Structures are given as structure tokens and as C-alpha cells.
Structure 1
Amino acid sequence: MTENTEEQWLNKGLRLLDRSGRSSLKISRLCAELNLTKGSFYHWFKSKQEFDQRLLSYWRELFTSEFIKDANHGGTSKEKLARLIEKCIEGMKDESRLEIEINMWGHQERSIGEFVEKVYKERFQYLIDLLEDIYKNKDEAKRHGHILYSLMIGVELFHENLSRKELKSIFREYLPPS
């Protein structure tokens, strides 16, 4: 048997979701993948629904809160934005479908969709906050926010084979002026 921690269950859940989609998030499959019992699962989670909610909270922590925390180590808003874009580019080269799978899951279940929408709004608001500090004009900041956010989603969906150099070139075009 392998070690039994909550984080281990959540990491396995994210990997299964990424590789095989929402339908793979079955208690029996998680247990088999981890070589643990259903009792081990229920030690950490009262139900599959609780697991799903904690999995989404974990996704938010790793791919929103941690990205923002990392970006905030920059000095100016422009430096923070550059750090954020760099971190996103890093994630794009992992050949991950996680964001796509979570988005699809959100379209299939209302409660999941509501949570995912809150995360998207949190991400967008952070981007807007940085851009408003850079541009000082709220309309211009919002316009650039929509461009950058849409670009990020578009690249994630349609251009997974771009090199790191190509990705940097694309995003460099949309970074605010010095």
C-alpha cells in the first residue's frame, strides 16, 4: 500500500481529470490508481461530492492562488504581469488538458460551473488590477485584460504545439509598453 494523505488523493484526482476527463473521477478508479481502499478514501472525504468540491478548491489554490502569489513577488505591476504570463506559459508546455476538462465539467454541472466561474472572475480581476495600475485608464486596462485573457484561453485550446519561444513571442506582443 502507498502512503495515504489528502493531498495524494487530490493530486491523483487532478491527474485523472487531466488525462481522462471527469468520467474518470470514480472512487473505485482513484482507489485502484493509488492502491488504497475505499475506507482510505472515506477517511479524508465524507462523499464523492465533498471530494469534487475539495478537488476544485485544490485546483484553485494551485492554479490561481499560487500563480497570483508567485506574480506578487515581482516589483511593479508590469513585472508582476510578466511573471504571471511566464508562469502561464510554463503551464502551457505541460501538455495539460486540466483547464479544458474543468471548464467542460463546469458546463455539465451547475454547482461546479458556479465555482469555476468564480475562479475565472478572480483571475480576470487580478489581471485587471495589474493593468489598471499600468495604464491608469480603466477602459484601456479592461480592453487589454480581455485581449490577454482571450489570448491565454485561445492558445490553451488551439495551439498546444507551440514552442516556448513562440509562446513568449506571442505574449510579448501584448505586454504593456515600458
Structure 2
Amino acid sequence: MADRGPDLWLAAGRTLVVAGIDITLEALCAETGKTRGSFYHHFTSVQHYRDKLLENWRRKATLDIITAVEQHGRHRAEALNRMATREDHRFERALRGLAIRHADVATIVEDVDSRREDYIARLAREDLQLEPAAAEAVARLGIALFIAGQLRAPDNLQAFNAGAEAWLMAAVTSVPD
């Protein structure tokens, strides 16, 4: 297997987290088939690695998706829904479990949820012309629905959320001025 640099190690960490295995240097080396020296070529410590793993997820779960959604103009909400529900949610689901016991993970998860909520509220204000309070409520409900789907149906989030999303959109678009 060719060394793919830090990406190989980050993928290994995601695999370990999903499997419920503690991130240790030994576990990472076993998962990658690489040596400790290879690990230290990319990361200064296991804590540095964990920080990079969480930061990588934060970027992918927020900035990368938002950047891609912004390319869809007037169809941003639909694009966001498609992208969000088609992702593999096992890693995020496992992170939410770890957040209960690890403050650093909880901080990152809360930040991701907050960024997502802010973005959805912005879309609701701009695309649906909702007042700020209504947009924030829609965003909170949207995030709550998303998290519920991750926990209850991580392998089929799109189907789990389909009926609820249709109801939410109908309710939002029928809000009187």
C-alpha cells in the first residue's frame, strides 16, 4: 500500500473511532500497517493527531459542505439536504458518543452543530425570506432532525428524514407574513 501521508492516518483514525477502538499509536499502526516512524513523520504526538483528526472532520462537516452548497445558487437548501443526507454518518455518530466523555470532542461537535445551525438559519432568511427568529427555529429543528436521523438511521438518513423534512418545509412555507 502506498503511503498517502496524513490522509492514510486520518482514515485509520476514523475507522478506529467507528469501531469503538481507542486511538492509540499501536492501534493506528496496526490499522495502517505503517510504523511508528511513519506516524511521527506526520504528527508530533497522538494528541496532535487527535486534534488534526477532529479539525479535519470539522472542516469537512462544515466549510467544505457550505462551500459546495454555495455553488448551487437558488437551490442551496436542496443541495445541502442532498449532501448532508448522503454522507456516511458513522464517524460523526461515534464522535457524538465520545463527546459525552471527552470535553475536547464535545467542544468540536458543538462548534460543528453551531456552524451548521447558523448556515441553515442564513439560508432560511435569504432563500425562504423568514424573519430571523423563525429562521433560527427552523435551523434548530433541522439540526435536531439531522442528529436524530444519525442516531436512529445512520445507514439511511435520507429515508428517515424524508417525511419530516417535507412536513417542515410545508410548515415553513405556509408561515403567514
Shift in alpha-carbon separation, 1:166–1:17, aligned structure 2, 3 A: closer
Q: CA deviation at 1:4?
A: 4.6
The alignment of Structure 1 onto Structure 2 pairs a total of residues equal to: 171
Q: Alignment identity in percent?
A: 24
Q: Which of 160, 168, 174 in structure 1 is aligned with 2:168?
A: 174
Matched, 1:159 2:153: yes
What are the residue-to-residue correspondences of 1:114-129 with 2, within 5 Å? 114-129=107-122
Structure 1 unmatched runs, 5+: none
Give 4+ residue runs of structure 1 displaced > 6 Å after superposition. none
Question: Match of 1:10, as an amino acid?
Answer: L
In the alignment, the residues of structure 1 paired with residue 143 and residue 31 of structure 2 have an alpha-carbon distance, to the nearest angstrom, of 35
Report matched runs for 1:2-151 at 5 Å.
Answer: 2-18=2-18, 20-21=19-20, 23-76=21-74, 79-91=75-87, 94=88, 96-133=89-126, 134-151=128-145
AA at the equivalent of 1:6: P
Could you give the per-residue CA deviations for residues 11-60 of structure 1, whole angstroms, max 9, x where no partner exists? 22112212x12x33221111112111011111111111000000001111
| TM-score normalised to structure 1 length | 0.85
The one-letter code of the counterpart of 2:24 is: K
Structure 1 window deviating more from structure 2 (168-177 vs 130-139): it is 168-177
State the Cα distance separating 1:160 from its structure 2 match. Answer: 3.9
**Whole-Å separation in 2 of the counterparts to 1:49 and 1:154:** 30
Give the aligned residue type for 2:165: F
RMSD: 2.1
How does the TM-score come out when normalised to structure 2?
A: 0.85
For structure 2, list consecutive stretches of 5 or more residues without a partner in the other structure.
none
One-letter identity of the residue aligned with 2:78: A
Counterparts of 2:7 and 2:157, CA distance in 1: 31
Q: Is the 8 A contact 1:14 1:59 kept in 2?
A: no
Task: For residue 166 of structure 1, report the CA deviation from its aligned partner.
Answer: 5.6
